[in-house]
């Protein structure tokens, strides 16, 4: 138990961390280019925020939240997603009084008590992007495009943008009735979860993955045929913008999303080779959410991308990005007596911006050379009694084995100069 992490969690080991850092750096740079500002919310919130925001009848709220009562007697939930917290922060800090629309992003963990499998975890990491205060279809297109821009920057291909519109509360009400009329005579042959969705959340019937239910869902009436005029015009305009931005997409009327706040545009971006959990990101418009959470009527649109799934995809396609630069110089005193000189050089190198390391286990020079090879350091700065007397080091380039004497003050220059030539 003590040496095993809880099910559904991951340790990001040092070997894989450079890929994550590359992804996170690209995200920060893209958000800067597209004028999104970072807002970090806490990883727990009042439970009610998610009950009202994500929706009482969703799988997330019904069975997946990590909810507990804290010592003060309040019900607290580890965030299962980031959107609701960002809306809360936007309202709490009156960001609506700043320049509009408010464009925000956040990268951080989310928690859902789901059955773990490849690509599905109980703690996962999302890049969340939200725009509050703009109803323009150009913004729907922008939030779809920025995700595509990220994967393009990372060199990834083969993703499919699936797009749908689930209308507004007005046209969806009539559609729900039509959907129930279609499903009512077929209910007996469907899975138990579809039977319970029929009453509580009929749109989710379209999302069922059970073999027996899928053909029934495929033949169901389509929301797209029931859109009101405003929703139809909006959907056409989103597509027009996507074409203008050269973002390929497919219409997929089966995309309904697992959270209740969506209106009009919904989308998911999948990478089919990932298997069952192949949605790398998803999102859409939610013009009623901010009002539901206590704000004035304010449109919103956004998405969240699962960084674990993106990294899995990068690894599958061998797009690992650059490995860590590693250690520039390993400072190796031959004997205990040269340790003070070694320490001085070590910190001189670090302060000059070079990655430097030394031995802390009293190894022989031979032992240190072995370690240097394992660490993959570029240079060894060896200090023996002779060198110490002269204030010098034997600087060895590990790749070539070439070694020359360099004054201790000149090591930074020798190493940095060589890096500049590479």
Query: Which residues are near ligand HAM by CB under 6 A?
Result: 81, 83, 112, 114, 120-121, 124, 126, 128, 130, 258-259, 279-284, 302-304, 306, 308-309
Decide whether 114 or 207 has the Cβ nearer to ligand HAM: 114
Shortest distance, CB of residue 343 to ligand HAM, whole angstroms? 45
Q: Which of 372, 383, 378, 357 is nearest to 421 (CA)?
A: 378
Decide whether 112 or 396 has the Cβ nearer to ligand HAM: 112
Shortest distance, CB of residue 188 to ligand HAM, whole angstroms? 31
Decide whether 281 or 330 has the Cβ nearer to ligand HAM: 281
Shortest distance, CB of residue 143 to ligand HAM, whole angstroms? 8
CB neighbourhood size of 81 (10 A): 19
What is d(CA 140, CA 284) in angstroms, rounded to the nearest whole number? 7
Decide whether 121 or 183 has the Cβ nearer to ligand HAM: 121
Q: Which of 243, 245, 269 is nearest to 163 (CA)?
A: 269
Phi, psi of 148, rounded to the nearest 5 degrees: -65, -40
Specify the residue for token string 């990590």. Answer: 66
Tokens of 262: 């969506």
Decide whether 50 or 379 has the Cβ nearer to ligand HAM: 50
Decide whether 122 or 172 has the Cβ nearer to ligand HAM: 122
Decide whether 51 or 126 has the Cβ nearer to ligand HAM: 126
Which residues have CB under 8 Å from 158's CB, separation 6+? 271, 272, 273, 317
> For 135-290, where are the E strands, in sequence order?
160-165, 250-251, 263-270, 279-285
Q: Which residue is nearest to ligand HAM (CB)?
A: 306
Residues 281/306, Cβ–Cβ less than 8 Å: yes
Using DSSP's 3-state secondary structure scheme, residue 405 falls into strand
Shortest distance, CB of residue 279 to ligand HAM, whole angstroms? 4
What is d(CA 316, CA 327) in angstroms, rounded to the nearest whole number? 28
Decide whether 304 or 381 has the Cβ nearer to ligand HAM: 304
Tokens of 257: 């999303």
Is the CA virtual torsion 182, 184, 188, 194 positive or negative? positive
Q: Which of 321, 324, 278, 304 is nearest to 124 (CA)?
A: 304
Decide whether 81 or 145 has the Cβ nearer to ligand HAM: 81
Shortest distance, CB of residue 79 to ligand HAM, whole angstroms? 10
DSSP structure class, residue 115: -
What is d(CA 250, CA 267) in angstroms, rounded to the nearest whole number? 10
Phi, psi of 404, rounded to the nearest 5 degrees: -145, 160
DSSP structure class, residue 297: S
Shortest distance, CB of residue 251 to ligand HAM, whole angstroms? 19
Shortest distance, CB of residue 314 to ligand HAM, whole angstroms? 14
Shortest distance, CB of residue 64 to ligand HAM, whole angstroms? 8
Specify the residue for token string 């100069």. Answer: 417
Shortest distance, CB of residue 125 to ligand HAM, whole angstroms? 8
């Amino acid at each position: 138990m003590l040496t095993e992490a809880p099910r559904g969690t991951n340790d990001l080991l040092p070997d894989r961390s450079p890929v994550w850092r590359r992804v996170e750096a690209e995200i920060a740079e893209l958000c800067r280019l597209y004028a999104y500002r970072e807002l970090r919310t806490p990883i727990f919130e009042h439970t009610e925020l998610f009950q009202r925001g994500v929706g009482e009848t969703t799988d997330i709220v019904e069975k997946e939240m990590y909810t507990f009562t804290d010592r003060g007697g309040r019900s607290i939930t580890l965030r299962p997603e980031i959107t609701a917290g960002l809306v809360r922060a936007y309202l709490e800090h009156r960001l609506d009084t700043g320049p509009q629309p408010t464009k925000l992003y956040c990268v951080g963990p989310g928690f859902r008590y789901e059955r773990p499998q490849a690509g599905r975890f109980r703690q996962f990491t999302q890049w969340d992007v939200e725009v509050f205060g703009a109803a323009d279809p150009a913004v729907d297109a922008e939030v779809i495009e920025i995700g595509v821009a990220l994967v393009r920057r990372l060199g990834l291909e083969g993703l499919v943008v699936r797009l749908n519109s689930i209308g507004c509360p007005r046209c969806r009400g009539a559609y729900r009735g039509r959907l129930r009329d279609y499903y009512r005579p077929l209910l007996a042959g469907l899975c138990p979860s579809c039977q319970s969705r029929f009453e509580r959340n009929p749109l989710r019937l379209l999302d069922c993955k059970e073999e027996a239910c899928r053909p029934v869902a495929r033949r169901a009436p389509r929301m797209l045929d029931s859109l009101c005029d405003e929703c139809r015009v909006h959907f056409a305009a989103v597509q027009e913008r996507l074409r203008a931005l050269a973002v390929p997409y497919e219409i997929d009327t089966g995309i309904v999303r697992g959270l209740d706040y969506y209106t009009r545009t919904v989308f998911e971006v999948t990478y089919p080779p990932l298997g069952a959990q192949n949605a790398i990101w998803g999102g859409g418009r939610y013009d009623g959410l901010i009002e539901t959470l206590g704000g004035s009527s304010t449109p919103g649109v956004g998405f969240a991308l699962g960084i674990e799934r993106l990294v899995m995809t990068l690894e599958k396609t061998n797009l690992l990005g650059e490995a860590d630069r590693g250690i520039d110089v390993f400072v190796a005193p031959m004997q205990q007596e040269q340790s003070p000189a070694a320490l001085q050089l070590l910190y001189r190198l670090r302060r000059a911006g070079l990655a430097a390391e030394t031995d802390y286990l009293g190894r022989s020079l031979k032992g240190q050379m072995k370690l240097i090879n394992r660490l993959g350091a570029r240079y060894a700065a060896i200090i023996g009694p002779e060198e110490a007397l002269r204030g010098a080091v034997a600087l060895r380039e590990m790749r070539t084995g070439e070694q020359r004497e360099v004054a201790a003050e000149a090591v930074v220059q020798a190493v940095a100069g060589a890096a500049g030539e590479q």
